[in-house]
Amino acid sequence: METMDARTLAERYIALWIEPDEEVCRAAIRALWAPDGAHVLLPPAELVEAAAELGFEALTLEAHGHAAIEKRVSSSYARFVAAGEHTFRARGDAVRLGPVVRFEWESVRVEDDVVLGGGSEVLLLGPDGTIVRDSMFPH
């Protein structure tokens, strides 16, 4: 993958989460992530609390490799974007420090541009510029 600036990477990253064409999305995932790359999600507080009640001190949700990341992205698209009521967009500036890129994103209601939620993304890039680890922190 060509080296790209942080803002372009953030825009391409967000674009794949709202892409309706499965083939385009699949190609974007393969272009952005390393073959063994990971998407790691800090789960919602209620899920963390339920896990703690079962004795789990730490809980993360992880998808490893292109196929698992594709399943994660397509499930998110079906749940949040497909109906045409919501979309995602980058918020603010993305920044890069060596192999780490950080940016904010938000979930927006299409009808009136009301922000419904959002989060932070921290991407660790490999030597070839592909994502080795994608850590998502919804808030």
Q: How confident is the model at residue 13 (pLDDT cuts 50, 70, 90)?
A: very high
Which range scores top for mean pLDDT: 41-45, 48-52, 83-87? 83-87
Q: Is 79 helix (H, G, I), strand (E, B) or coil?
A: helix
Pick the residue with more confidence: 104 or 42? 104
CA dist 91 and 52 (Å) reads: 32
Helix then strand then coil, % of the chain, to nearest 5:
35, 40, 25
Query: Using an 8 Å Cβ cutoff, are 131 and 139 in contact?
Result: no
**What mean pLDDT is predicted for residues 14-31?**
97
Whether the per-residue pLDDT at 1 is higher than 70: the answer is: no
Which range scores top for mean pLDDT: 1-15, 45-59, 114-128? 114-128
CA distances from residue 122 to 10, 49, 79 in whole angstroms, order as listed? 10, 23, 23
Q: 75-116, pLDDT tens digit by residue?
A: 999 999 999 999 999 998 999 999 999 999 999 999 999 999
Residue 55 pLDDT:
93
Whether the per-residue pLDDT at 22 is higher than 70: the answer is: yes
Q: How confident is the model at residue 60 (pLDDT cuts 50, 70, 90)?
A: confident
- How many other β-carbons are positioned within 10 Å of the β-carbon of residue 32? 23
Q: How confident is the model at residue 42 (pLDDT cuts 50, 70, 90)?
A: confident
